């Protein structure tokens, strides 16, 4: 007999990762609307980290039936990743799946903490002396004006160039970085596609600096590599 998850555990597993696949290399949404105005589709799976019955992937005979169908033994995945983990037990070990689950829940938790305009304003004002690189123009900008709810203006004295980033675009990129744990200029291009924002690299550097303002002004090896890798400063 299989120790299947009860409905309430299935629901909690899905909600604890924001209904996204817990595989960090996937993160696909697992629910969405049907064509009908009131219907919804779920393509997610509450998968067992250790198998629900003897002979299954990663089966652990030391677990009780209650532990086997408990939330600690579950991970929320899309159907593809659910099939994947059971097809290669050597690669997808218990510890690896537990890491996926832990990191997915952390991403979901960070994504819930969206900054208020007041918090964003305070952070950006503290960053007025930070150097914000942009590999689009291979220049370094500094923040010269912060207009809450409207925009942030940056300028590069050496190149006599400027950039204006819309407030709502910065906020969207910041929230995305909080949810996924990563941000690149190509991702910014995608999530801000409707804004016609031509400064995706500057936006990327600004948001990452908002998370850790000291990072861009530090001269330690780690932070120098950060600037080089993300912003291609030469």
Spatial contact of 97 and 49, defined as CB atoms under 8 Å apart: yes
CA–chain centroid gap for 29, Å, is: 13
Spatial contact of 174 and 115, defined as CB atoms under 8 Å apart: yes
Q: Using one digit for the tens of pLDDT, what is the confidence trace for 114-124? A: 677 888 888 88
Alpha-carbon distance of 126 to 118, in angstroms, equals 12
- pLDDT of 49 reads 97
- pLDDT of 228 reads 46
Residue stretches of the chain with pLDDT short of 50:
135-137, 218, 220-234
pTM score, two decimals? 0.58
**DSSP letters for 110-141:** HHH-PPPHHHHHHHHHHTTT--EEETTTTEEE
- pLDDT of 88 reads 94
- pLDDT of 87 reads 95
- pLDDT of 82 reads 96
């Amino acid at each position: 007999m299989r120790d299947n998850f009860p409905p309430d555990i299935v629901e909690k597993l899905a909600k604890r990762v924001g209904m996204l696949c817990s595989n960090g290399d996937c993160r696909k949404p697992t629910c969405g609307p049907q064509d009908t105005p009131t219907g919804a589709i779920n393509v997610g799976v509450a998968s067992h980290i250790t198998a629900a019955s003897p002979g299954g992937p990663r089966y652990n005979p030391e677990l009780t039936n209650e532990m086997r169908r408990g939330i600690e033994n579950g991970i929320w995945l899309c159907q593809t990743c659910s099939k994947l983990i059971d097809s290669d037990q050597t690669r997808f070990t218990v510890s690896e799946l537990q890491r996926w689950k832990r990191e997915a829940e952390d991403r979901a938790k960070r994504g819930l903490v969206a900054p208020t305009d007041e918090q964003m304003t305070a952070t950006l004002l503290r960053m007025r002396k930070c150097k914000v690189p942009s590999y689009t123009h291979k220049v370094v900008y500094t923040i010269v004006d912060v207009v809450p709810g409207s925009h942030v203006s940056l300028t590069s004295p050496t190149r006599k160039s400027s950039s204006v980033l819309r407030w709502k675009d910065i906020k969207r990129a910041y929230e995305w970085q909080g949810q996924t744990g990563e941000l690149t200029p190509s991702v910014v291009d995608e999530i801000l596609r409707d804004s016609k924002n031509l400064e995706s690299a500057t936006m990327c550097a600004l948001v990452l600096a908002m998370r850790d303002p000291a990072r861009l002004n530090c001269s330690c090896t780690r932070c120098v590599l950060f600037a080089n890798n993300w912003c291609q400063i030469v």
